[in-house]
Amino acid sequence: MQKGKDRFFRLFLGATAILFLFMVGCKSANNPVSSSGNTGTTSDKDAMLSITNEDSAFTSFLPNYNEDAEMNITSYDGVSIYPIHVWHRMILANTDFSVNITGDSALGTITRTFNGTLFIAASLDSMGGTPDTVIQKSFTSVITRNLIFVKVDSTSNPRNNWRLAAISLPKGGTQSPNVYITKMTITLPNDSMIVITDPNEYYLSRMRHRWHQIPFLRNGDSVNVQVELYSAYADTDFVTLTHGADFHGMHRAKKLLKLISSNPSGTGYDKIYEQTYRVHQWPGFYHAVINAIPRQVIFDANAPVESDSWGLLYFARPVF
């Protein structure tokens, strides 16, 4: 009898946690007025940008894009410099938001410019486990995302009139023509597949509507990610997957994708990379972020940073 009560209590706590987290996201998507009572925004555009910046599904991208800490990777063989830790720090420098309102709906585009620093802690010895040098490279990255709003009211306060109904997936980088992702295929635990050829045209929503549903994943779920990209370089690119970071940067994990195939295409190569990651036990909205960087950026101290980045939004929930 006691075991039955304990199980019921655990189920109740788990369900309450999920409901609370999801309601927080929905509250921010449904135009909350600040606790100070400030109804502040004076235009629909200002209201939509404020709603977006308070939505946890949207803001969960940055903690996984900004790694901001040393992260272990597997060293390569046969080169003179052996990276031990590779990570990048991203600082938001500028946000541009445009919106086109048509009747009771609106399409917005948010463009965020980041000042980035790529850190490469490397050993000069193939057997060395301690970095001999840390190389820093500055770069600029631009990430875009589309937003769909629907009108829910007609009050004097624009924040109460609009709801963020769907958001596209993020994409961007250094705008390099030498490496760019062309397709991403995600295989979920139930063997269903998400195929993305343009993140800015792939919309996710909390509501059952014409858009795709945000994937709900459980603690321990295994997710396979296959990335197709074009690279101007024959060498194996440095393609990574960063996921699981909360808003404080906790629980972040990073994995190096494996090269599956490489075939000549024009003046470059069509390549396929693959990796699997597991969902951790902390509930909430998260992004899995793919970063594709040419090999020489990591192994040549003088090579400028080139990168292309796509992201996948998901919601992690505990197992009952």
Question: What's the pLDDT tens digit per position in 41-98?
Answer: 579 999 999 999 999 999 999 989 988 765 554 333 334 456 678 889 999 999 999 9
Contact in structure between 89 and 67 (CB atoms under 8 Å): yes
Q: Is 9's pLDDT higher than 50? A: no
- In the Cβ-directed half-sphere of 50, how many Cα atoms lie within 13 Å? 21
Residue 33 pLDDT = 35
Highest mean pLDDT among 6-20, 26-40, 124-138, 200-214: 200-214
Contact in structure between 312 and 169 (CB atoms under 8 Å): yes
Its domain, for residue 308, covers: 2-317
Buried b (16+ CB within 10 A) or exposed e, 30-62: bbeeeeeeeeebeebbebbbbbbebbbbbbbbb
Strand-pairing partners, residue 145, are 110
Residue 122 pLDDT = 77
Distances (CA, A) of 243 to 13, 234, 249: 25, 28, 10
Nearest in space to 253 (alpha carbons), one of 270, 275, 233: 275
Per mean pLDDT, which range of 129-133, 185-189, 270-274, 279-283 is the poorest?
Answer: 129-133
Q: Is 18's pLDDT higher than 80? A: no
Q: What is the CATH number of the domain that holds 148?
A: 2.70.50.30
Residue 16 pLDDT = 45
Mean pLDDT, all residues of the chain = 83
What is the arithmetic mean of pLDDT over 222-236? 97
3-state helix, strand, coil in the chain (%, to 5): 20, 45, 35
Highest mean pLDDT among 28-42, 50-64, 130-144: 50-64
Buried b (16+ CB within 10 A) or exposed e, 97-126: bebeeeeeebebebebebebebbbbbbeee
| Number of separate domains in the chain | 1
pLDDT-above-70 percentage for the chain: 79
Whole-angstrom distance, CA of residue 277 vs CA of residue 256: 10
Contact in structure between 231 and 294 (CB atoms under 8 Å): yes
Residue 245 pLDDT = 84
Residue 186 pLDDT = 97
Residue 53 pLDDT = 94
Residue 124 pLDDT = 64
Query: What DSSP designation does 266 have?
Result: T
pLDDT in tens, 252-270: 889 999 999 999 999 999 9
Distances (CA, A) of 66 to 87, 98, 159, 175, 303: 9, 24, 29, 18, 21
Per mean pLDDT, which range of 60-69, 101-110, 232-241, 302-311 is the poorest?
Answer: 60-69
* pTM: predicted TM-score of the whole model, two decimal places: 0.81
What is the arithmetic mean of pLDDT over 184-211? 92
What is the arithmetic mean of pLDDT over 115-126? 82
Whole-angstrom distance, CA of residue 120 vs CA of residue 134: 5
Strand ranges in 178-283 using DSSP code E only, listed in sequence order? 179-187, 193-196, 203-205, 212-213, 216-218, 222-231, 238-243, 253-256, 258-265, 268-278
Q: Residues 313, 318, 320, CA angle at the centre, nearest 5°?
A: 145
Residue 249 pLDDT = 78
Higher pLDDT, 17 or 146: 146
Residue 320 pLDDT = 60
Nearest in space to 139 (alpha carbons), one of 303, 311, 315: 303
Per mean pLDDT, which range of 70-79, 217-226, 295-304 is the poorest?
Answer: 70-79
Q: Is 224's pLDDT higher than 60? A: yes
Residue 262 pLDDT = 98
Residue 70 pLDDT = 53
Higher pLDDT, 134 or 183: 183
- In the Cβ-directed half-sphere of 216, how many Cα atoms lie within 13 Å? 10
